[in-house]
Amino acid sequence: MKFIVYNVRDDEIPFIEKWGKYHGIEVKYTTTTLNQETVEEAAGFDGISCLQTIQYSAELFESFKRLGIKYLSLRNVGVDNIDLPAAKANGVKITNVPAYSPESIAEFAVMMSLYLSRKVGYMRQQLDQKHEFHFSPNFMGRLISEQTVGVIGTGRIGQAAIKLFKGLGAKVIAYDKYPLKNTDNSFVYAKSLEQIYQESDIISIHMPATDDNYHQFNHEVFEQMKDTAILINTARGSIVDTDDLIFALQSGEIAGAGIDTIENESADLQDSRSTKKVNDPDVLKMALMPNVLVTPHSAFHTSEAVKNMIDISLGNLETMVNGKTPKDLVD
């Protein structure tokens, strides 16, 4: 049995080597992105492990079939970038890692909320750009305990985020297309999305990207939000219309944004050895705004998460190659 792991970062290598040694399985790894050309490297391997936010296309799955590769094991949660019908049509079974560390993403969302609530971007801007190191009225922040946090998506990450926001004393209201039956009274569901938009001081998005939430946060929604509100997106870029967001931030429709996931992420984002300069105009614009914290899809990135992503995804691959049904099969 032998596996190939694509899109590897240096911090994943010790975990991959340890897993291979422990399980007595040959695991080759490469920093290359998985696409129609690079998939040729997988010829002769029993399965592929991959982590990327660019598309897994129908053509890619046709190449899987031609090369006799039947198993793709994702090291991440999201499956929004996969042509699932094409995978099925080409006989490719897919697994993901639904819960490698929901707390890692939840903590990041809270970190962004604190950074923006306490105006750290304004402090950094004054120091970085003007080399001034003194108080300013612009730095006056707000306590999380005095704020209403609207959490959209009450799955694994949303629930972990609720726990943390509640720990800081916030009032939490939530929305989910498929609400939980039992919430342990730790939060209440809002009557509608409009209530979340209108009453929240912080909105934190924790739902998957789907056809029905494409650009859900657009001009119409920003107009409904408080002009003091902060939007946190650690879910997927497509949920927020970036042009409308930038307009909302510049015109004062909302006060701040924490953006870990942005529309049209490129393959470069996953290349940890890259020295390429960022050329996405929206990222460059937001990077200069003191009321924005923009990060390269890094909310997941803790040592705890990385270990679980490797161990669970390679375990899923081994289970599939052994002809058994893995618990994380994506249907």
Question: Can 220 be counted among the known catalytic residues?
Answer: no
Active-site residue identified among 236, 263, 301, 318: 236
Residue 222 burial (CB count, 10 A): 22
Active-site residue identified among 206, 265, 301, 318: 265
Return the residues of window 152-211 that contact ligand NAD according to CB under 6 A. Answer: 152-158, 175-178, 206-210
Return the residues of window 63-92 that contact ligand NAD according to CB under 6 A. Answer: 77-78
To the nearest whole angstrom, how small is the minimum distance from the Cβ of residue 179 to ligand NAD? 8
Q: Which of ligand NAD, ligand COI, none sits in contact with 260, Cβ below 5 to 8 A by type?
A: ligand NAD
Contact, 217 vs 246, CB < 8 A? no
DSSP class of residue 328 equals T
Residue 95 burial (CB count, 10 A): 26
Which of 27, 38, 28 is CA-nearest to residue 270?
Answer: 38
Q: What is the DSSP string of 200-244?
A: -SEEEE-S---GGGTT-BSHHHHHHS-TT-EEEE-S-GGGB-HHH
Which of 263, 167, 261 is CA-nearest to residue 205?
Answer: 261
Question: Can 265 be counted among the known catalytic residues?
Answer: yes
**DSSP H/E element including 149:** strand 148-152
Q: In sequence order, what are the residues at sequence separation of 6 or more whose Cβ sits closer than 8 angstroms to the Cβ of residue 297? A: 53, 260, 261, 265, 269
Write the binding mask 73 to 92 for ligand COI: x where contact by CB under 6 A, - elsewhere.
Answer: ---xxx--------------
Question: Can 236 be counted among the known catalytic residues?
Answer: yes
Contact, 94 vs 72, CB < 8 A? yes
- When binding is defined by CB under 6 A, the residue of 261, 270, 308, 316 that contacts ligand NAD is 261
Q: Which of ligand COI, ligand NAD, none sits in contact with 53, Cβ below 5 to 8 A by type?
A: ligand COI
Q: Which of ligand COI, ligand NAD, none sits in contact with 116, Cβ below 5 to 8 A by type?
A: none
- The reply to whether 170 sits near ligand COI by the rule CB under 6 A is no
Task: Give the residue at shortest CB distance from ligand NAD.
Answer: 155
- The reply to whether 212 sits near ligand NAD by the rule CB under 6 A is yes
**How many Å apart are CA 177 and CA 256, to the nearest integer?**
26
Which among 33-41, 71-79, 125-133, 189-197 is the span making contact with ligand COI, rule CB under 6 A?
Answer: 71-79
Write the binding mask 118 to 137 for ligand COI: x where contact by CB under 6 A, - elsewhere.
Answer: --------------------
**DSSP H/E element including 171:** strand 171-175
Write the binding mask 246 to 285 for ligand COI: x where contact by CB under 6 A, - elsewhere.
Answer: ----------------------------------------
DSSP reduced 3-state for 27: strand
Return the residues of window 175-204 that contact ligand COI according to CB under 6 A. Answer: none
- The reply to whether 297 sits near ligand NAD by the rule CB under 6 A is yes
**How many Å apart are CA 174 and CA 154, to the nearest integer?**
7
Joined tokens for residue 41: 């490297």
Judged by CB under 6 A, the number of residues near ligand NAD is: 30
Joined tokens for residue 231: 């939007």
Tally of CA atoms within 13 A in the half-sphere of 242 that contains its CB = 18
**What residues line the site for ligand COI (CB under 6 A)?**
51, 53, 76-78, 297, 300
**What residues line the site for ligand NAD (CB under 6 A)?**
77-78, 102, 105, 152-158, 175-178, 206-210, 212-213, 234-236, 260-261, 297, 299-300
- Residues noted as catalytic: 236, 265, 297
